[in-house]
Amino acid sequence: MSRNVRVAVVGATGAVGKAMIDTLLRREFPYTDLRLLASKRSAGTVINVASRAYEVQEATPESFDGVDIALFSAGADVSLRLAPEAVARGALVIDNTSAYRMHADVPLVVPEVNPEAMWGHQGIIANPNCSTIQMLVALRPLQLAYGLKRIVVSTYQAASGAGERAIAELREQTVAFLEGREMKASVMPVSKLAKHYPLAFNVLAQIDVFADNGFTKEEMKMVHETHKILADDSLAVTPTCVRVPVVYGHAESVYVETERSFDIDQVRALLAQSPGIEVQDDPQAQLYPQPLLAAGRFEVFVGRLRQDLYTPNALSMWVVSDNILKGAAYNAVQIAELWLSREAHTA
């Protein structure tokens, strides 16, 4: 790499932002300048990165002067306001929020699935929703080998998907419950009675708000983003998104119907050799993916592979991944790495 790469992390104090910084280090991303940006609230906070102290600055349009890559994860409003400013100053924006995902001129990229799409960017590349990313890493090899007709997915999504406050609140609620105290709730959905639901010792069949069709916005994201990434609007996608009291790692029960017949052992072998996947599937050894084991890892773990009992050309599987890493920070850094490798070739 011959040129200097100056990186900005927007939302650096958040769950995803902190994982971005950590991932840049773990991947030995060759940045020469690192700007840590957040809101006015945390301006002045010091974050240590590789034994060097960085002061967090308030994100403003001028923060992006001289920046090559800006990794955004500070909410959709911040991306809508500041991503165009970063692009106008010459930065490539990799956006983790939902702000631009469905824009026609913004590629929505999972490097194991549709890396080539990123080169059509006009300055912004979007990272898909965490639940969509891990599902599609697992399904892409099946799409290529057998064709996809229908997906029925139920998610078991970790608290960290709702950010730092949700993680802290789940921990506090768990302690309160075990000590026989009332659980305080302020992050998860609010009922008609204007009371937030606690997540500890609970399961909430709602992520984000409800759309008019009875699905939630999170569920509709899985439908629309899957169509865009796989370039197939005819694919039937039926999601149910559920929040569970897990800190890190989303799990998904995925039922999929394919166009062509398959052998389940061949599917297992195919997945085992596909990029970004680790197969953990051994009923005899009682081995299958689990959020606790996936936390902190970059891979998508796949197990519980079963041929359907009734429908030909259908199978079920269990897909687990760290939502903060492959579902957000690592996927974004992978995109930055692809950009970097092309820069290195054209430099």
Q: Which residues bind ligand NAP (CB under 6 A)?
A: 11-17, 38-39, 41-42, 59, 73-76, 78, 96-97, 130, 160-161, 163-165, 323-324, 327-328
Distance CA 277, CA 138 (A): 7
Residue of closest CB approach to ligand NAP: 14
> CB 61 → ligand NAP: shortest distance, Å?
12
Two tokens, residue 234: 């005819």
Two tokens, residue 137: 């890493």
Q: How many CB atoms lie within 10 A of CB 114?
A: 18
* 342 CB-near residues (< 8 Å, 6+ apart): 119
The smaller minimum CB distance to ligand NAP, of residues 75 and 239, is found at 75
The smaller minimum CB distance to ligand NAP, of residues 78 and 340, is found at 78
> CB 311 → ligand NAP: shortest distance, Å?
32
Distance CA 95, CA 190 (A): 28
> CB 174 → ligand NAP: shortest distance, Å?
19
The smaller minimum CB distance to ligand NAP, of residues 251 and 315, is found at 251
> CB 185 → ligand NAP: shortest distance, Å?
16
> CB 315 → ligand NAP: shortest distance, Å?
27
The smaller minimum CB distance to ligand NAP, of residues 170 and 279, is found at 170
Scanning the structure block, which residue is given the tokens 């891990």? Answer: 134
> CB 101 → ligand NAP: shortest distance, Å?
10
Active-site residues, by number, are: 130, 250
